């Protein structure tokens, strides 16, 4: 695979995100890097994937011009469905969404995400934006993928507040609270990629990005990191991936860093 040594960490994360999408899947797309990840996958390896956008757009084609947000006019042009948020969220309730992308201010070793507050309900240090549709995505999609900057203040032993549930306290937790499907399948960070142990549901480092080390990952993680016995190096974006991605984000609005 031909690669370009000149790429940003965001471009690497987008490429990694695109590789998580299988052909034919229904993808709840999201904004920023996930939006680009879907477009890249749709263009190169998952031509039959369908994109669901929260504000009510469903597309099975790539927008004819670059878009920065899901609401840009080219994304509406010849879409398959122009509805509203209620309609797209109902697809989640019906179990029709295969995969979604979300992030947060905090994540813990079981993939629980916090976008509500830091501190405690009795002593709030910072009030965060809240759930939006993220809790629905984490509860109702067949799986979700977490994309986050890797910092110790974000990767904490236990989130201060569970806004979007991962595996709670470990294996069996989701079922015990009535979540009949789903859970995080991967965590893509600025340093590497994690999967989840099927027995314990704990995050396991499976891939290190070029230029990163296990020591760097541990230094920026608030608990002892579990390392896969098959730890690999994340493939750099190919020339084809980069050229395609840069057509979608020609000015580096989302991917310049």
Q: Indicate which residues carry an active-site annotation.
A: 54
The Cα 23–Cα 46 span in angstroms is 4
How far apart CA 144 and CA 180 sit, in angstroms, is: 14
Q: How far is it between the farthest Cα atoms of the chain? A: 54
38 touches 75 (CB < 8 A):
no
What value does the CA radius of gyration of the chain take, rounded to a whole number of Å? 18
CB 185 within 8 A of CB 130: no
Instruction: Please state, in angstroms and rounded to a whole number, the distance separating the CA atoms of residues 57 and 82.
Output: 5
With beta carbons less than 8 A apart as the criterion, state whether 12 and 57 touch: no
CA 137 to chain CA centroid, Å, is 11
Angle subtended at Cα 82 by Cα 76 and Cα 88, rounded to the nearest 5 degrees: 115
């Amino acid at each position: 695979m031909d690669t370009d040594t000149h790429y940003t960490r965001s471009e690497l994360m987008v490429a990694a995100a695109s590789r998580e999408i299988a052909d034919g899947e229904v993808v709840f797309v999201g904004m920023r890097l996930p939006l680009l990840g879907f477009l890249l996958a749709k263009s190169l390896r998952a031509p039959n994937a369908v994109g669901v956008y929260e504000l009510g757009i469903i597309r099975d084609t790539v927008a004819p011009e670059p878009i920065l947000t899901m609401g840009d006019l080219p994304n509406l042009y010849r879409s398959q469905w122009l509805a509203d948020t209620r309609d797209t969220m109902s697809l989640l309730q019906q179990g029709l969404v295969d995969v979604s992308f979300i992030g947060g201010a905090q994540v813990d070793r079981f993939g629980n995400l916090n976008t509500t507050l830091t501190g405690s309900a009795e002593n709030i240090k910072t009030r965060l934006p809240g759930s939006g549709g993220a809790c629905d995505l984490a509860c109702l999609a067949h799986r979700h993928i977490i994309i986050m900057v890797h910092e110790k203040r974000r990767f904490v032993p236990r989130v201060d507040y569970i806004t979007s549930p991962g595996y709670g306290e470990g294996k069996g937790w989701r079922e015990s609270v009535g979540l009949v499907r789903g859970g995080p399948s991967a965590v893509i960070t600025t340093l590497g990629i994690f999967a989840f142990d099927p027995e314990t549901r704990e995050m396991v480092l499976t891939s290190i990005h070029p230029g990163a080390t296990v020591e760097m990952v541990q230094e920026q993680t608030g608990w002892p990191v579990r390392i896969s016995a098959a730890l690999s190096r994340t493939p750099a974006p190919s020339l084809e991936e980069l050229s395609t991605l840069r057509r979608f984000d020609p000015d580096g609005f989302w991917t310049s860093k």
